Homo-oligomer: A and B are copies of this chain.
Amino acid sequence: MIAGVIGATGYAGAELVRLLSGHPNVSEMLLSSVSFQGKQFHEIYPNFLGRVSKQLLKAEDVIAASDVVFSALPHAVGEPYAQACMDRGAHYIDLSSDFRFDDDEETFSAWYGKGYAHPELHKKSVYGLVELNRKQIAHLAAQGPAIIGNPGCYPTGASLGAFPALAKGLVAAGATVIVNSITGITGGGREPSPAFHFPECTDSVTPYKIGAHRHSPEIARNFNAMAATGNQAAPALIFTPHLAPINRGILSTIYIPLADKYRTPSISSQGKVMPPAKEIEEAAKKIHSIYEGFYKDEPFVRVLPLGLFAATNRVRQSNYCDISVHLDISGGTLIIVSAIDNMLKGAAGQAVQNMNVVLGVDEKTGLEAIPALF
């Protein structure tokens, strides 16, 4: 099977190349780059020296000879490539936002400043959050060449963290769920800029784009879809991204007001804040058990034992989403922490996972790396 990567010299593209190099179903890779066309891939990334010696082609030439095409291009340029893949009969997996909103052109254009040139492509595409849409992806691919919108990095961690709560009725009616996320610097991509210049971002943490990040509508849409799987109403969403001086990883701390059924009855402490009561531990066990049950068959979601805290270094260089379950002191709010590697489960790894579903092979194929801790 020939895999093509267009936009192979961005960070997500290079990670795809790394993963696909070790994928047993990929017999050959074809790579394109606008900026470096004609050069060898390892000239741009010398870490691949002796391993990936591929001339960087034009996107058209990649598509013309590939069975599956990954697009790791910027937003709002993917439609023609998707169309070309459909014409050729190749599957198309887009790592940008272009196919994340299905036929909701209104939302896409409001946030990305551009409408759909080929609305019909978005009618048949599927949003590639495998844990949510596994069946739809497989079904679509069974019928012919598929278009998959690979999820955004923040939406992946936030949505997987909230999914069981949303689907199983844990969320209080009318609640607002707050997703407070921290990302590593690779999330900003390969292009140097003041915000990602070492002296200005190392040894510092800061939020950005509060109340205005383009992943907000994607997370909200996922919350809706996830709640709907359990016939639940979706909560409102507040999403706040932060930057920390790590290379890989997104940690999302998700505050979920609990439905009465799961709240711990208030313990009187005369208005004082006291250490958590013993009842809290029982309540946490109950919810933890729901989370474990919900994800028991998912190959890439690990619900951590109670007492552990999700951490980005425990999923680094892997396709895992680690989830830890906590309650606030009063027992009224569920606090879920999810950790992913933004370049893998949040981008290239999830894209390969999608390819595996599309091809009908074991979903873990080529994604078996154990996180290395350091």
Give the interface of A toward B (CB within 8 A). 11, 14-15, 18, 21-22, 45-52, 104, 106-107, 110-111, 176, 178, 180, 182, 185-186, 190, 192-194, 196-208, 210-212, 216-217, 220-221, 224, 236-238, 240, 242, 244-249, 251, 253, 255, 257, 271-276, 280, 302, 304, 308-317, 322, 326-330, 332-333, 335, 337, 339, 343, 368-374
Check B370 against A47 for contact (C-beta < 8 Å): yes
Give Cα A313 to B372, complex, Å.
15
Residue of B with least CB distance to A373: B47
Return chain B residues, CB-CB under 8 Å to A271.
224
Check B245 against A245 for contact (C-beta < 8 Å): yes
With a 10 A CB-CB cut-off, give which of A21, A22, A186, A199 has the most chain B CB atoms.
A199
Return chain B residues, CB-CB under 8 Å to A106.
272
Q: Name 11 interchain pairs, CB-CB below 8 A, sorted by A.
A: A111-B274, A186-B374, A196-B197, A199-B247, A203-B249, A204-B249, A206-B310, A210-B335, A220-B273, A238-B335, A247-B374
Give Cα A205 to B247, complex, Å.
11
With a 10 A CB-CB cut-off, give which of A15, A107, A224 has the most chain B CB atoms.
A107
Residue of B with least CB distance to A335: B210
Check A309 against B22 for contact (C-beta < 8 Å): no
Return chain B residues, CB-CB under 8 Å to A46.
304, 308, 314
Expressed in whole angstroms, the minimum distance between the Cβ of A198 and any Cβ of chain B is: 4
Return chain B residues, CB-CB under 8 Å to A203.
202-203, 246-249, 312-313, 316, 374
Known: A180-B253, A192-B196, A236-B330. A312 touches B185 (CB 8 A): no
Check B275 against A111 for contact (C-beta < 8 Å): yes
Pick the contact of A372 from B310, B317, B335, B339 — CB < 8 Å?
B317
Expressed in whole angstroms, the minimum distance between the Cβ of A8 and any Cβ of chain B is: 14
Give Cα A247 to B247, complex, Å.
12
Check B204 against A311 for contact (C-beta < 8 Å): yes
Give Cα A337 to B200, complex, Å.
19
Give Cα A134 to B58, complex, Å.
44
7 nearest A-B residue pairs (beta carbon): A204-B313, A206-B311, A192-B192, A210-B326, A217-B273, A47-B314, A185-B198
Check A194 against B197 for contact (C-beta < 8 Å): no
Return chain B residues, CB-CB under 8 Å to A373.
14, 45, 47, 199-200
